Structure 1
Amino acid sequence: MKEHRKEYRKHVGNSFEREIPLIAGMEGPLTLFTHLVEVKNCLIWGIKKPDYFNVFMDICTEICIEYANSLFDHGVDALCIPDGGLTGSRMMPSSTLENSIKPFYKRLCKKVKGPKILHICGDIESSLKTLSECGFDAISIEEKVSIRAAKDAIGDRARLIGNVSPSKTLLFGTPDAVKAEAKKCLLGGVDILAPGCGIAPWTPLANIKALLDARNEWYDEKN
């Protein structure tokens, strides 16, 4: 990571280092859980064997805490934690999120010593209130989630990040389409403008630049 930090500084220059954060990515405990036992078992245990579920969540959470703090020790400014889409799917009961996931997310947020961003794919509107009570500094949403509904659910407990479509708009759209969708997100009240998920390979650089230009134009017009 220290070598990556040097490479990063070489490209952005010391004068921009404070303006451009170095954000690392790390899969969350629920995703690690599904890698170890498969999604099917994770879902079944969450409903029928919560004790099994909690044992695995405990182990996976501690692994994530240790790795996350190592990343901060090596110089990252913030950590983005994509944790699958189970919490936003109809397969995961809300009781499992509340009773068997939320406590471990709260532990992770308490013990990790730096800014934490949670990203979960899919329509997680019904889960946002619970997720925002875990202690994450920000929550990243994709374009399936209404910004207005997300803001209402989260309140001031976390910053909202998103949610320009990375495929329909950034990958296949035009710079003008990117700007239009980006400004719609800002008008809706998103705190940090960003793609709704990872940027796809072959996304035109002109479209990525249009995303930044839209943000700058928006705030220039406001001021």
Structure 2
Amino acid sequence: MNSYERYMQVMQGKPADIVPRIPILMRFAAEYIGSNYGAFASDYRVLVEANLRCAKDFGMDQVSAISDPYRETHGFGAEIQYQRDGVPKCLRPPLEGTKDITSLPRPNPQAGRMLDRVNAIRAYKEQAQGEYSILGWIEGPAAEAADVRGVSAFLVDLIDDQPFCETLMDLCVEVAIEFARAQIEAGADTIGIGDAIASQVSPRLYNRLIQPREQRLVQAIRDMGAYVRLHICGNITHLLPGIAGLPINILDVDYMVDMKAARAAVGTDVVIAGNIDPAGGVLYGRPQVIRETMQAAYQAVGNRYMVCAGCEIPSGTPHENLKALCELIPYCA
């Protein structure tokens, strides 16, 4: 059973030989092949080479096109500055100081930084289709709205001007659906949705303003024939009842969240992935403790489960630690 077959077996609720490994790699992967984060984020060829090399050398079952949150934001007109050893910077949110949504250009998935990500998916399809699962990536409605408006301004708007937030997030959903479609047509079997800012709002605001738009986005991707992986970093315990209403296939769980509570909320049809602390557990941990932590996570949630950290594997993680994270865990029927 190869990585793609293993991943698909578990996604379909069928037994596999081992538990799939789907950690998120960005700067670590770039540096592993002797490159840097700036090149990884700006050139799909570096991203693809880095992820494929790590998948082979460390034992992973999925390759990803994630690099940073500013692909769609660039399409909305933002100037993005690459940094050699850090996440790209958005120099000025497109709606900083204004609420004129009509001033925004319409992002085109076949141009600019969005096209670079689509090209990464195409390259994965050419080099690894049928060998690894291919994960595309888009920003969720709240995350992208925050990137376009500015995080602080958007959080204030959620309280002071909810109609504006709804209109902006509706536009972000439309763009995300188009971006997801382009990646699925290029070869992605799964689309990740990053909506980290949602962890900072109350259940009331999430359920009223954000969850219905995530619902629309997730269902659109499902209707295109792809799986959906929801990634909201941080403590989402207070959002679990709302998240349980989303038709997602995989829920990434960060280390602050109790795995049993996550399983109780979403049921057994959703794959739970996580949830070791990326810094304290992986970067600064010891291999034996990492192995024990992942075994305990699997025991806590049972099937369906996949191995990953609560978020990105940090730069500087000892190779033996990542190997321990990806060590084979027999699938328990």
Measure how far apart 1:157 and its partner are: 5.5
Measure how far apart 1:45 and its partner are: 2.1
CA contact (8 A) 1:133 1:157 kept: no
Q: For the residues of structure 1 that align with 2:329 and 2:214, how far apart are their CA atoms? A: 37
Three-state SS of the structure 2 residue aligned to 1:26 is strand
Matches within 5 A, 1:31-110: 31-84=143-196, 86-89=197-200, 92-110=201-219
Measure how far apart 1:211 and its partner are: 1.8
Q: For the residues of structure 2 that align with 1:98 and 1:25, how far apart are their CA atoms? A: 23
Partner amino acid, structure 2, of 1:104: R
Q: For the residues of structure 1 that align with 2:270 and 2:161, how far apart are their CA atoms? A: 32
Q: For the residues of structure 2 that align with 1:121 and 1:98, how far apart are their CA atoms? A: 17
Q: For the residues of structure 2 that align with 1:129 and 1:192, how far apart are their CA atoms? A: 21
Indicate the residue corresponding to 2:312 in structure 1: 198
Number of residue pairs the alignment of both structures matches: 208
Indicate the residue corresponding to 2:83 in structure 1: none
Measure how far apart 1:150 and its partner are: 1.0
Q: Structure 2: which 5+ residue stretches go unaligned?
A: 1-118
TM-score (norm 1): 0.86
Which consecutive segments of 4 or more residues in structure 1 shift more than 3 A? none
When the two chains are superposed, the root-mean-square deviation of aligned CA atoms in Å is 1.8
Three-state SS of the structure 2 residue aligned to 1:169 is helix
CA contact (8 A) 1:132 1:158 kept: no
Indicate the residue corresponding to 2:227 in structure 1: 115
Is the counterpart of residue 166 in structure 1 residue 278 in structure 2? yes
Q: For the residues of structure 1 that align with 2:164 and 2:247, how far apart are their CA atoms? A: 25
Indicate the residue corresponding to 2:140 in structure 1: 28
Indicate the residue corresponding to 1:209 in structure 2: 323
Q: Percent identity?
A: 24
Measure how far apart 1:187 and its partner are: 1.1
Measure how far apart 1:78 and its partner are: 0.9
Which structure carries more relative contact order (alpha carbon 8 Å, separation 6+)?
2
Partner amino acid, structure 2, of 1:179: R
Is the counterpart of residue 5 in structure 1 residue 125 in structure 2? yes
Three-state SS of the structure 1 residue aligned to 2:165 is helix
Three-state SS of the structure 1 residue aligned to 2:192 is strand
Q: For the residues of structure 2 that align with 1:206 and 1:18, how far apart are their CA atoms? A: 28
Q: Structure 1: which 5+ residue stretches go unaligned?
A: 10-16
Measure how far apart 1:71 and its partner are: 0.5
CA contact (8 A) 2:143 2:198 kept: no
Three-state SS of the structure 1 residue aligned to 2:130 is coil
